[in-house]
């Protein structure tokens, strides 16, 4: 995703990131490529989900847009689990999976984060 560096004082909004990312992809990725799968790239789990959701809401991409589901899916589950709390880890994994699934289809809303 096209995002500003961590030290940049002017962080782009969700819509700006989605538009810039789609613009970059349209200029460089052939339409014959079936999908573009993102890593979260150091973004927070929620922000990465919001960016993916916005790209899918904008639509018009020649490819399927989704996550490779690395850190954006696993980190919250590992943090909640802490090697001992299986139930908390399962709940965190389930929440991220539901949010990211919705973002994949452009159906994500912030309130989903509270439904864990």
Residue boundaries of the structural domains of the chain: 14-114
CA-closest candidate to residue 44, choices 62, 17, 9: 17
DSSP letter for each residue of 7-54: T-SSPPPHHHHHHHHHHHHHHHS-TTS-EEEE--TT--HHHHHHHHHH
Is the model's pLDDT at 102 over the cut of 70? yes
**pTM of the model as a whole:** 0.80
Give the total residue count for the chain: 116
Which residues on adjacent β-strands are paired with residue 64? 35
Is the model's pLDDT at 38 over the cut of 80? yes
Assign 95 a pLDDT band (cuts: 50, 70, 90): very high
């Amino acid at each position: 995703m096209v995002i500003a560096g961590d030290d940049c004082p002017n962080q782009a909004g969700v819509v700006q990131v989605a538009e810039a990312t789609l613009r970059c992809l349209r200029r460089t990725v052939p339409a014959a490529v079936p999908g573009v799968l993102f890593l979260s790239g150091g973004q927070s789990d929620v922000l990465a989900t919001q960016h993916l959701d916005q790209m899918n809401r904008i639509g018009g991409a020649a490819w399927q847009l989704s996550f490779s589901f690395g850190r954006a899916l696993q980190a919250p589950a590992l943090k909640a689990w802490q090697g001992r709390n299986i139930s908390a880890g399962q709940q965190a994994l389930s929440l991220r999976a539901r949010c990211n699934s919705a973002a994949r289809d452009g159906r994500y809303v912030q309130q989903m984060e509270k439904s864990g």
